[in-house]
Amino acid sequence: MNHRSVILPSETSLSGERTQAKAPAPAGQSRLTRRALLAATAGAALAQLSAFAKIRGVELGVTGRAEDFPKADQYGFDYFEPGGSAIAGMTDTAFAAFRDQVKASRIYCQSVITLISNPKLKVVGPDVDLDAVSSYLDSAFDRFKSLGVSVAVWGSAGSRRVPEGYSRDTAWDQIKAFLARAGVIAKAKQIVIGIEPLRKQESNIINTGAEALKLVHEVNHPAVQMIIDYYHLRVENEDPEIVRTAKDHIVHLHFANPTGRRWPHSPDEDPVYGRFFQILKEIDYKGGLSIEGNGTFEADAAASLAFFKNELA
């Protein structure tokens, strides 16, 4: 995985100290020296910018639409997390343009959210067609890999929704069959699937980290792991200790202030923030942490990055 790290230069370091006046150099030499100085300064600033967000081995990212990618770069995030199904659904021309934009940037797409959104691609229920799902994943993962993706987050509540009156044991077995097959495809593309627990208001199965961990153990495939979304964890009132329990299988994190599902700003917003981040530090978590919530780059990015820097320090 690409890890980038930088500290923004301070105004002091750029403004510098007063220096004694010197005799002017010949015109040609003066222009050359000034040009070299500007190039060196710009290069140093860019190099420092590229590691602005990363803290203690944790890369900070944000979820969003493909058109938001330039803002993630501009506002100092380490990576961007677009929708997987949106990337898969792009025309070849649109995808090529987005891929070129990513490759020309200092950041990359470390992960994708919403792996499956097509209502025809079910993994639970009487109408499951795993051949169709596998065909979709095979082509989608090719696109993801070319963007730098290493984790494909599978929340995708619609794909796993258990129909009313349907056997939950059968649904569980169908999910395992899907993940086993998807894991083979993912491993071949050097991608890991991260099972995402979702609150009951969004999904009627796999609502807690403990359930996701049970799935990981039962599927027992190296390319099938799990993520924790702080917002869903808090809504479900799950003990943050699940992060420690599942530490060997957590490959990614999502985060939002549980009040209003907003970009976080302050340690005072939620009483469990401190404990959650303390556990992350104690297990020495290394990986991506993406904001997934209501907010904007313009109004919230600076405060959110400062929040994470403080909590992870």
Q: Quickly state the pLDDT bin for 31 (edges 50, 70, 90).
A: very low
- pLDDT-derived band at 274 (thresholds 50, 70, 90) equals very high
CATH number of the domain residue 300 falls in: 3.20.20.150
Express each pLDDT in 193-229 by its tens digit.
999 999 999 999 999 999 999 999 999 999 999 999 9
9 occurs within a structural domain: no
Residue 294 lies in a domain: yes
How far is CA 142 from its chain centroid?
Answer: 18
pLDDT digits 0-9 by tens, 63-73: 999 999 999 99
Q: Kindly state whether residue 31 falls inside one of the protein's structural domains.
A: no
Q: Is residue 17 part of a domain?
A: no
Q: What is the pLDDT of residue 54?
A: 87
Among 27-36, 107-116, 137-146, which stretch is predicted with the lowest mean pLDDT? Answer: 27-36
Residues in the chain: 313
* Residue 14 within any structural domain of the chain: no
Q: Is the pLDDT of residue 39 over 60?
A: no
* Domain span holding position 99: 55-312
Alpha-carbon gap, residue 106 to 76, rounded angstroms: 10
pLDDT level of residue 53 (50, 70, 90 thresholds): confident
Distance (Å, rounded) from C-alpha 138 to C-alpha 19?
A: 62
Res 52: pLDDT: 58
Residue 30 has pLDDT above 90, yes or no: no
As for how many domains the chain has, the answer is 1
Question: Is 66 contained in some domain?
Answer: yes
The mean pLDDT value of the chain amounts to: 87
pTM of the entire predicted model? 0.84
Question: Would you say residue 34 lies in a domain?
Answer: no
Q: Is the pLDDT of residue 48 over 60?
A: no
Residues 6+ apart with CB under 8 A from 53: 59, 60, 76, 77, 78, 305, 308, 309
CA distance 312 to 278: 8
**Residue 128 within a domain:** yes
Please state at what angle helix 92-103 crosses helix 130-146, rounded to 10 degrees.
40
The band of 49, judged by pLDDT with boundaries at 50, 70 and 90, is very low
